[in-house]
Amino acid sequence: MRPNGPATDTEAATQARRRRTFAVISHPDAGKSTLTEALALHAQAITEAGHINGKAGRRHTVSDWMSMEQARGISISSASLQLTYRDTVLNLVDTPGHADFSEDTYRVLAAVDAAIMLVDAAKGLEAQTMKLFAVCKHRGIPIITVINKWDRPGRDPLELMDEITERTGLTPTPLTWPVGIAGDFRGVIDRSEGSYDAFTATAGGAQIAPEEHMDAEQAAAREGEAWITAQEESELLEASGAQHEQETFLAGVSTPVLFAAAVKNFGVRRLLDTLVELAPPATPRPDHAGNPRPVEAPFSAMVFKLQTGMNTAHRDRVAFVRVCSGVFERGMVVTTARTGRPFATKYAQQAFGQGRDGVDTAYPGDVVGLVNAAALSIGDTIYTGEPVEFPPLPTFAPEHFAVARAVDIGRYKQFRKGITQLEAEGVVQVLRSNLRGDQAPVLAAVGPMQFEVAEHRMADEFSSPVRLETLGYTLARRTDAESAQVLANERGVEVLHRTDGELLALFADQWRMRAVQRNHPDLTLEALIAA
């Protein structure tokens, strides 16, 4: 193993500059999986995207992959995909966001430096996109917007820009503008050059779509009316000041916009170029005290995702970390900031991508899966050298609540152990009160899927099956001890403790909360980070 000497420091800084670590935020069905495959195709991580056709096909692929990994006796997870494009390393961190939409999805955003907001051209900004956007905004993550499915009938592009302005507060600054209405996608204007990229579809979108680059005159001759309309719209945008500015983009004030049809591979190359040219590299992360830790400092990383039970025979736990500084080398012994204990990184793996072999070296911005990570919790910092700790990961506003009880009261010890463990891993939040007692904690979640995971693992892993009784609350607010006393006398309100010390007041809905507020205008009721 190499010491963390000067040569390594320079290497970390150089490699950090080459990294772009990002996630795709979208609503189910907007085309995230299709776009991921298209990006991989363009970055030549795989040669053909066509073998994975539609959801059924994908599921098949994933399950094959799981059984393959299980046969090898190691745990896996789809945490990130690493691609190389124009000598830049792109780390696409997966936001689990389909049926299994949960708090996990939001925590992933703590590991990235930028996000792609993927929008369905016909549907505009949808519910889950808005929720994930709120988290990005809270963290100040720069956002690149991609309007997808332009090959299908959809909305008017200017109308979509208005919607972005109104609903996100971001100024959309299109880098490209579509030629041909939604459903008749011919190509895009490059707005900075005034030139035209014409697309040609390939059979089934299996190969990179050929693009023809031409000047305005050639474009006008080729596309006629469609070109003139696109040009007029682009000029309209210019008049309203919708030009890209790197500073406002990085500050999360404006968002460059691209038009694409992921399924046909249209606009995908331009997205890769935009990531390379505009997205920020792995930059210094502020530590607990708010001091940015230079990327060339000794190794440090942050645990943003835990995965257990992929392999029931091993009960193994994989901790996914994002490298924040220095160079990670397989086998290095790191310190866990929370406990001060050493942790040996004997087995490290990259989740998927170009070969899922063990990772030997990783740099700031990269994601590494550490196996045998039972000692690590969500939000943990690991490091070498001088102690460092990054701020804890945010906990999101839960919207689902259920009381958990051990089915077999004789197994209370296992019950308690399991609940504590699931809480440490961030599978669910756990709320308690004197009124309910220790035997009936309230589980709180962002998505109901989290309950299913908790139920399954309590039975399967901790041998203490639980009965969950759903509570009729949908809204949580942070309160204080004084307000809690007032709230205790109100109907339809309950106050519980969370382990991080917060007191949460639960309400059936916002109308109930407003009614309580009308009677007691001075109550402390603060919004939690919206999810």
User: Does 92 engage in binding with ligand G4P (CB under 6 A)?
Assistant: no
Does 395 participate in binding ligand G4P (rule CB under 6 A)?
Answer: no
Element of type H or E holding 430: strand 429-432
| Site stretch for ligand G4P (CB under 6 A), options 3-11, 28-36, 84-92, 280-288 | 28-36
Among the listed ranges 144-152, 274-282, 385-393, 523-531, the one in contact with ligand G4P (CB under 6 A) is 144-152
Q: Which residue is nearest to ligand G4P (CB)?
A: 54
Q: Does 26 bind ligand G4P (CB under 6 A)?
A: yes
The span from the CA of 36 to the CA of 55, in Å, is 13
Kindly give, in sequence order, each residue whose CB lies less than 8 Å from that of residue 14, ignoring residues fewer than 6 positions away: none
Residue 60 marked in a binding site: no
| Angstrom distance (rounded) from CA 464 to CA 455 | 9
33 scored as a contact of ligand G4P (CB under 6 A): yes
Name which of 185 and 196 has its Cβ closer to ligand G4P.
185
**Cβ proximity of 455 and 422 under 8 Å:** no
**97 assigned to a ligand binding site:** yes
**Token pair belonging to 33:** 């999986």
400 annotated as a binding-site residue: no
Report the alpha-carbon distance of residue 425 to residue 433 in Å, rounded.
21
Residue 95 annotated as lining a ligand binding site: yes
What residue has token string 């030009």? Answer: 243
DSSP assignment of 71-101 equals HHT------EEEEEETTEEEEEE----STT-
Q: Which two tokens stand for residue 370?
A: 């550490």
The minimum distance between CB 276 and ligand G4P, in angstroms, equals 22
Question: Rounded to the nearest whole angstrom, what is the least distance from the CB of residue 199 to ligand G4P in the complex?
Answer: 12
Task: Please tell me whether 448 is known to bind a ligand.
Answer: no
> Which of left, alpha, beta for 54 (phi over 0: left; psi -120 to 50: alpha)?
left
Q: Which is nearer to ligand G4P, 55 or 346 (CB)?
A: 55
From candidates 44, 53, 63, 291, binder to ligand G4P by CB under 6 A = 53
Among 17, 138, 152, 356, binds ligand G4P (CB under 6 A): 152
**Closer to ligand G4P at the Cβ: 28 or 465?**
28
Residue of 470, 466, 496 whose CA lies nearest to 405:
466
Report the residue from 21, 31, 297, 299 that binds ligand G4P according to the rule CB under 6 A.
31
Number of amino acids touching ligand G4P (CB under 6 A) = 19
* Cβ atoms of 349 and 372 closer than 8 Å: no
Which residues of the shown chain bind ligand G4P in the complex (CB under 6 A)? 26, 28-34, 53-55, 98, 148-149, 151-152, 261-263
Question: Residues annotated in the binding site for GTP, as ranges?
Answer: 94-98
